[in-house]
A and B are shown apart, each in its own frame.
Chain A
Amino acid sequence: MSETTSVTPESTSSQPPAESLVLRKLRERFPDRVLETHTHRGDATAVVPRDAAHEIFRFLKEDEDLSFEMLTDLTAVDYLKMKKSPRFEVVYHLYSLTHNHRVRIKIPVTEAQPEVDSIVSFWSIANWYEREVWDMFGIRFRGHPDLRRILLYEEFKGHPLRKDYPKNKRQPLVTAKM
């Protein structure tokens, strides 16, 4: 993921220079906390460390020029097969209704300590998104009010979207009794 600035035709009209504003403001405000920023195919991305997550999210939500009111998406990626270190990345997509801009925030998470801070206090929807990431990847969210499985059942062992979980390893609850 290099410093590419190529923009697809679909997004030329919709990606104003405000994109770089978000990243610029982030770098100015947290010069030593933001690990990396880049824009690939028009998507502005910032990689931030785990322990700075809370103050960065607060800044993104409350700063008047940014005002990201909406947490569009929260997910994770397991980079086991791409041999990236650390193994996981928690990915946040934010959207600002006021300024019509988007940003992607990524937090690297190690396999040994799969934990990040919960952001339920900023966006209520994070409650379910974080439960889903816990369910699928086994990444814990510190301070989450109710971290339990959401899509699968409590009896399920393992976290299926991890790359080392076999695709068709089934754990049935009932079998035929004919």
Chain B
Amino acid sequence: MAAEPIRETRTDNMMLNMGPSHPAMHGVIRIVVELDGETVVSSDTEIGYLHRAFEKEAENATYNQVFPYTDRLNYVSPIINNVGYALAVEKLLGLEVTERCKYIRVLMSEISRVCDHLTCIGASAMELGAMSAFLYMIEAREFLWELVEQVTGARLTIAYCRVGGVKADLPENFEQEVATRFQKVREVLKDVDGLLTRNRIFIERMDGVGVISKEEAIDYSFTGPMLRGCGVPYDVRKANPYLVYDQVSFEVPTQTGCDNYSRYLVRMAEIVQSMRIVEQCFPKMPKGPINVDHAGNVMEPADMVDTAKIGKTHDLPLIQLELSPNLEGLEKKQHREVMAPDKGVVLPAKNDTYGNIEGLMNHFMLIMEGWGIQPPVGEVYQAVEGANGELGYYVVSDGMDKPYRVRVRPPCFAFVAGLHKMIDGGMIADVIPTFGSINMIAGELDR
């Protein structure tokens, strides 16, 4: 018996509130969708739930104090944020960092990018029910975080860069460590590739979903994997090479599907490219003093200060200082390699700070409020390729020791602004994979 159509049913559209606290809204965002049945008629996105006033804080901190705040912008790939800000300030100063430092920055940025893509793919797979892929990816990320920890001393919020250099040199045997960890990461990637790339459920949820045309993507200033998933090979590392990206070979993967599945494929291919860059860096990097045999006595910093107090300073600069583990990689010989030779910007090596009056004065001059790094009056815009796309820093200096204005151009601000283009007209369940594929990071979205 055919069912009679129920004429009395009300057919008003329904407003549904997704977020701000929703399991699939990584971070905090609120999407208000208007539903007709299960179809999204229109949507409105509200952001700002994680507004932490980065730009105001940066105006009230000295140039080097801004680094910890930049870590917390895109907290999945903090090193790239560090590098972007450091490059912007160095551009303002007209300062060039050392060759080894450039390679270290590139290498660490790419490790960071791999972490970011692993998290993004893992989380969006989990939201589609593929919990195992998430667990694998997070495990792989854990291997890389151990690498990051060896270099920077922290897992996540690392504050590794300084204006004019990096905090410390790479540890010993880092190349071997990278090789073993990458081996594990590659195994995980192979597993995940097998689990997802040809998985019919995964493809049906991702393929042809969250489509945005190339023209619209450009109109909304999409960059990074989102734009490359629309077939535009725009990558800041190729278009405006910074650091040593013009000296390593890598490809810019693109896909033409303009949908979630294309973005997934682009990210998977980028992980491979990033690991390729890291491996190229080691043979090209100028040999640091890591392999140099340190001759001479080893002295505790406190002893060195005492010796200096009684006037025995003439041979102190030659003595190797035993630094606390926190300062490992910043001994005097390494300092030369990773920091630019500019006394007005870079803190002196700890040997000099503890060992002689010039070093101590130099240190004080840079630390004291109202002194420090004072770039000339001016403004610069520096873009780097963040994990999500073009990450730009616009820094204005008034000639004082604090930045007058720091503006971040967060890549995912554009994606979230264009989100309604991707979800309107689709099904409510498709909001989740689309939102997962844009990899929104609330820290950089709301700043």
Interface residues of A (CB under 8 A from B): 1, 4, 6, 8-11, 13-15, 40-43, 45, 69-73, 75, 77-78, 81-82, 91, 93, 97, 100, 102, 104, 123-125, 127-129, 136, 149-153, 160-161, 167
Residues of B contacting A100 in the complex (Cβ-Cβ under 8 angstroms): 239-240
Instruction: Given contact pairs A40-B379, A123-B219, enumerate 9 new A-B contacts (beta carbons under 8 Å).
Output: A8-B96, A11-B240, A73-B381, A75-B407, A82-B398, A93-B394, A124-B220, A125-B418, A151-B48
B392 within 8 A of A: yes
Give the tally of cross-chain contacts (CB within 8 A).
Answer: 115
Interface size class of B (residues with CB under 8 A): 35 or more
- Do B218 and A93 touch across chains, with their CB atoms under 8 A apart? no
Docked complex Cα distance between A129 and B408 (Å): 12
Cβ B381 vs Cβ A43 within 8 A: yes
Contact of A41 among B51, B94, B383, B394 (CB under 8 A): B94
CB–CB A151/B51 < 8 A: yes
* Closest CB in chain A relative to B111 CB, distance in Å: 21
B91 near A91 (CB under 8 angstroms)? no
Return the chain A residue nearest B398 by Cβ.
Answer: A82
**In contact, B417 and A40 (Cβ under 8 angstroms):** no
Residues in A with CB closer than 8 Å to B398 are 81-82
Contact, CB under 8 Å: B240 / A41: no
B-side contacts of A14, CB under 8 Å: 239-242
Asked whether B234 is an interface residue with its Cβ less than 8 Å from the other chain, the reply is yes
- Rounded to whole angstroms, the CA-CA distance of A93 and B376 in the bound complex is 21
CB < 8 Å neighbour of A10 from B216, B243, B414: B243
List chain B residues, Cβ under 8 A from A72.
221, 383, 390, 392, 409
Say if the beta carbon of B405 comes within 8 Å of chain A. Answer: yes
When distances are taken between beta carbons in the complex, the residues of chain A under 8 Å from B53 are 160, 167
Are B417 and A128 in contact (CB-based, < 8 A)? yes
Does B206 sit within 8 A of A, measured CB to CB?
no
The one of B48, B234, B377, B381 in contact with A1, judged by C-beta atoms closer than 8 angstroms, is B377
- 13 A/B residue pairs, CB under 8 Å, sorted by A: A10-B96, A41-B380, A72-B383, A73-B407, A77-B404, A78-B405, A81-B398, A91-B394, A93-B392, A97-B218, A97-B234, A124-B216, A167-B57
- A109, B50: Cα distance in complex, Å: 29
* Chain B residues with CB below 8 A from A127, complex form: 417
Chain B residues in 8 Å Cβ range of A104? 381
Q: Complex Cα distance A25/B239, Å? A: 22
Query: Is B380 within 8 A of A43, CB to CB?
Result: yes
Contact present for B234 and A41 (CB under 8 Å): no
B47 adjacent to chain A (CB < 8 Å): yes
B221 touches A71 (CB 8 A): yes
Task: Quote the shortest CB–CB distance from B214 to chain A (angstroms).
Answer: 10
How far, in Å, is A149 (CB) from chain B's closest CB?
A: 8
CA distance A141 to B41 in the complex (A): 28
Residues of A near B216 (CB, < 8 A) are 124
- The 0/1 profile, CB within 8 Å of A marked 1, for residues 68-84 of chain B is 00000000000000000
In the bound assembly, the distance between CA atoms of A70 and B214 in angstroms comes to 12
Q: How far is the CB of B126 from chain A (nearest CB, A)?
A: 28
* Contact call A8/B413, Cβ cutoff below 8 A: no
CA distance A32 to B381 in the complex (A): 27
Q: Which residue of A lies closest to B244 (CB)?
A: A10
Distance in angstroms from A140 CB to nearest chain B CB is: 19
Q: Does B87 contact A (CB under 8 A)?
A: yes
For A10, give the chain B residue with the smallest CB separation. B242
| A102 contacts across to B, CB distance below 8 A | 381
What residues on A are CB-neighbors of B413 within 8 Å? 128-129
Residue of B nearest to A166 (CB): B56
Q: Are B379 and A43 in contact (CB under 8 A)?
A: yes
Task: Return the contact of A77 from the options B377, B405, B418 (Cβ within 8 A).
Answer: B405
Instruction: Rank and list the top 4 A-B pairs by shortest CB-CB distance, nearest first.
Output: A151-B48, A14-B240, A128-B417, A73-B409
137-190 of chain B: CB within 8 A of chain A: none
A123-B87 in contact given A104-B381, A128-B413 (Cβ < 8 Å) = no
| Least Cβ–Cβ distance between B20 and chain A, in angstroms | 12
| Contact present for B446 and A161 (CB under 8 Å) | no
- Asked if B56 and A161 sit within 8 Å, CB to CB, the answer is yes
Chain A residues within 8 Å of B378, by CB? 1, 4, 40-41
Instruction: Give A40 to B216 CA distance when docked, in angstroms.
Output: 32
Is B366 engaged at the interface, CB distance under 8 Å to the other chain? no
Q: Which residues of B have CB within 8 Å of A15?
A: 240
Closest residue of B by beta carbon distance from A122 = B219
CB of B60 within 8 Å of the partner chain = yes
Q: Across the two chains, which residue of chain A brings its CB closest to B414?
A: A125
Q: Cβ of B396 < 8 Å from any Cβ of A? A: yes
**Option from A42, A45, A124, A151 in Cβ contact (under 8 Å) with B418:** A124
